[in-house]
Amino acid sequence: MRETVLYQVQAIPEKRLIDVKCTIPNPDPLGQRVLLPAWIPGSYLIRNFSGHIVTLQAYDHEQVVPVQMLDKNTWFCGPTCGPLVVHYQVHAYDLTPRGAHVDSTHAFFNGSRVFLQVCGQEEAAVHIEIIAPFDPKYHHWRVATSLERVGAESFSFGLYQARHYEDLIDHPVEMGEFEVFSFEVVEVVHDLVVIGKHRADINRLKTDLSCLCEYHIRFFGVPAPMKKYTFLLTVLNDGYGGLEHCSSSVIHCKRAHLPKFNDIKVSDGYRTLLGLLSHEYFHAWNVKCIKPSAFSPYHLTCENYTRQLWIFEGITSYYDELALVRTKRISKENYLELLGQLCTRVYSTPGRFKQTLEQASFEAWIKFYRPDENSLNATISYYTKGALVALALDLLLRHETNNQCSLDQVMQVVWQRFGMTRQGLPEEYFERIVEEVSGCRLKDFFDRTLRSTEDFLIAPYLEKVGIVLNIFSASSMEEVGGRKPMDLLERPLLEVKLKPGTSDVHLACVFEGSAAEMAGLAPGDIIIAVNGFRVDRVHFESVIAHYAVGEEVLLHVFRRDILMTFKVVLRSGWLHTYVLATASSLTEQQRVLLQSWLNCDIS
């Protein structure tokens, strides 16, 4: 008799279902509890995956076993004589990196969506049999996953295994048609699995990706924590996002962001894609091995609160793009443009005056993952402000220690103490380690950047490495920053965010303190005319641009189904674009610091 828990999983493409049979050889003789996680590590929101279970029955070898739901995540199966089988079906139609999605083109799932946890047996090894869909027309499908194979051939249906439940749910599975591009760096075999139609130069992507992987492995030190790594890259018409796992990641990208054949430049889209791949890969160390204590172990049925997400997402966001310039995938100027965009995002967010970086982390469960029309006014992202603080800290350490210490060494020490040992990082330890490794006293720095809503200015830190921060008036409400505007004209702007993906001038957010807010405009309003002239999304900004700063315009607006008018005095606004450039002359110290920070020659 097989002693380990066995999960037999089979997609039913036409029904968008995943069928699972969980066989428990040694159930609790008094009755067995099973539960499904309420959230997926890496995405900090209670999602109650049990809501997607359509049917669930239990039986032993003789008869049906009664099942009772105990709470929203947990079921109780009555006492049995012998092995217990729990048979259930999961609706899977969420095409996101954190989701599960099945249709006639493929099947994809994250384990936390489909694998019931057998209470009391969480630490035991498990087997997983991945079975081809019943209909022979799917029998050419292959399987891509970082789960360890037992009987299954490479990329095939068959038997896999996991060390315990937490390991089981850390290996997403893709079934269908896909291409595989493999490469080996520093004794780690990497499979780049490309899912979806495209006409891209994937070999170029493979070369760039292998440089980034090698950089990150050597950054933390050989050997890497994984022997194999799988990138599950899904190509979509419109998609962006990723989710990290210990030895794989799920990435969704826009088809247009893939590199074209014979194109030697790095397009903005391709740069975004490389940054995303770099980000998820860096997480294999920073959040999958180095974790906050609150995640060690994960508590999968409730919120796991930590004030440290800026370390895990902000520092990762800092290094994902820094690795692009250090490995020479992009130029120094290109990297400075990315930092200009980062500054523009942070300094265009009024919410930075309301929420500290530590609060942003702690409140992720109720705010960051539940954005609404007021989020920009009330919250700050621990990704973007966290990356800006990481940048400041890195440059500060380099300057204060005369280039003897940097954030690189800090992360390496954190890796050795908390990553290699898999000990959770207690809430206050990171700051202590930075002070210990650098010898600098940084209490004021951390109080100001992590625990205060006072504005935190990046220019003095950039100056330490000879980078100048220039600030210009935004030329558009959709300003992304990083590039000097074509002209320096003062443009009237409405200081609102428009809803994407619609041809209407639909207000998604009205910035606090803006002329639009003072005039009474509100999120959800649709502007249909300016001074009697009809406007749509495409022409709205050019129509506004015909007026002068200080002029009053009459807006016709639908609020719900009521036509209303508002008078707004146009201002040039506080929206700005931030542009970084190397200073025209550098001191010797600035030149040395800049060179070692970006790994490039500065003449």
Which residues form the interface with Zn ion (CB under 5 A)?
313
Q: How far is 131 from 129, CA to CA, in rounded Å?
A: 6
Instruction: Judge whether 53 and 100 are in contact, CB under 8 Å.
Output: no
- For Zn ion, the closer CB: 141 or 281: 281
Q: How far is 450 from 586, CA to CA, in rounded Å?
A: 31
- For Zn ion, the closer CB: 298 or 558: 298
What does DSSP say about strands 126-131 and 5-12: parallel, antiparallel, or unpaired?
Answer: parallel
CB of 169 to Zn ion, least distance (A): 18
Give the Cβ contact number of residue 478 at 10 Å.
Answer: 11
CB of 526 to Zn ion, least distance (A): 34
CB of 71 to Zn ion, least distance (A): 30
Identify which of 390, 195, 389 has the alpha carbon closest to the alpha carbon of residue 282.
390
List the Cα angle 187/189/195 in 5-degree steps: 160
Cα-Cα-Cα-Cα dihedral sign, residues 293, 299, 305, 309: positive
Which run of H or E residues covers position 383?
Answer: none
Helix (H, G, I), strand (E, B) or coil at 545: coil
Q: How far is 40 from 29, CA to CA, in rounded Å?
A: 30
The number of angstroms, rounded, from the C-alpha of 584 to the middle of its chain's C-alpha atoms is 36
Give burial (CB, 10 Å; 0-12/13-18/19+) of 443. Answer: exposed
Torsion angle of the four alpha carbons 169, 305, 440, 395, in this order, in degrees rounded to the nearest 10: 60
Q: How far is 489 from 467, CA to CA, in rounded Å?
A: 25
Give burial (CB, 10 Å; 0-12/13-18/19+) of 172. Answer: buried
The number of angstroms, rounded, from the C-alpha of 264 to the middle of its chain's C-alpha atoms is 28
Give burial (CB, 10 Å; 0-12/13-18/19+) of 444. Answer: exposed
- For Zn ion, the closer CB: 274 or 469: 274
- For Zn ion, the closer CB: 161 or 249: 249
CB of 511 to Zn ion, least distance (A): 27
**DSSP 8-state class, residue 417:** I
Q: For Zn ion, which residue has the nearest CB?
A: 313
CB of 313 to Zn ion, least distance (A): 5
Neighbouring residues of 20: CB distance < 8 A, sequence distance ≥ 6: 7, 8, 9, 10, 87, 88, 89, 90, 114, 115, 116
- For Zn ion, the closer CB: 274 or 493: 274
Identify which of 249, 263, 387 has the alpha carbon closest to the alpha carbon of residue 321.
387
The number of angstroms, rounded, from the C-alpha of 489 to the middle of its chain's C-alpha atoms is 36
Residue 521 gets the label, from left (phi > 0), alpha (psi -120 to 50) or beta, of beta
Identify which of 213, 271, 281, 207 has the alpha carbon closest to the alpha carbon of residue 247.
281
- For Zn ion, the closer CB: 94 or 313: 313
- For Zn ion, the closer CB: 214 or 313: 313
CB of 283 to Zn ion, least distance (A): 6
Residue type, 153: E
CB of 245 to Zn ion, least distance (A): 12
CB of 311 to Zn ion, least distance (A): 11
CB of 240 to Zn ion, least distance (A): 13
Helix (H, G, I), strand (E, B) or coil at 481: coil
Q: How far is 302 from 547, CA to CA, in rounded Å?
A: 53
CB of 115 to Zn ion, least distance (A): 23
- For Zn ion, the closer CB: 317 or 356: 317
CB of 363 to Zn ion, least distance (A): 17
Tokens 């960051």 correspond to what residue?
Answer: 368
**Edge to edge, what strands does the sheet with 106-109 contain?**
100-103, 106-109, 173-176, 142-145
Helix (H, G, I), strand (E, B) or coil at 315: helix
Q: How far is 166 from 256, CA to CA, in rounded Å?
A: 36
- For Zn ion, the closer CB: 170 or 313: 313
- For Zn ion, the closer CB: 313 or 394: 313
CB of 302 to Zn ion, least distance (A): 22
CB of 232 to Zn ion, least distance (A): 16
- For Zn ion, the closer CB: 313 or 363: 313
- For Zn ion, the closer CB: 320 or 479: 320
Instruction: Judge whether 295 and 421 are in contact, CB under 8 Å.
Output: no
Q: How many residues does the chain have?
A: 603
- For Zn ion, the closer CB: 309 or 496: 309
CB of 209 to Zn ion, least distance (A): 17
- For Zn ion, the closer CB: 288 or 464: 288
Task: Quote the tokens at residue 585.
Answer: 């002359």
- For Zn ion, the closer CB: 278 or 359: 278
CB of 380 to Zn ion, least distance (A): 16
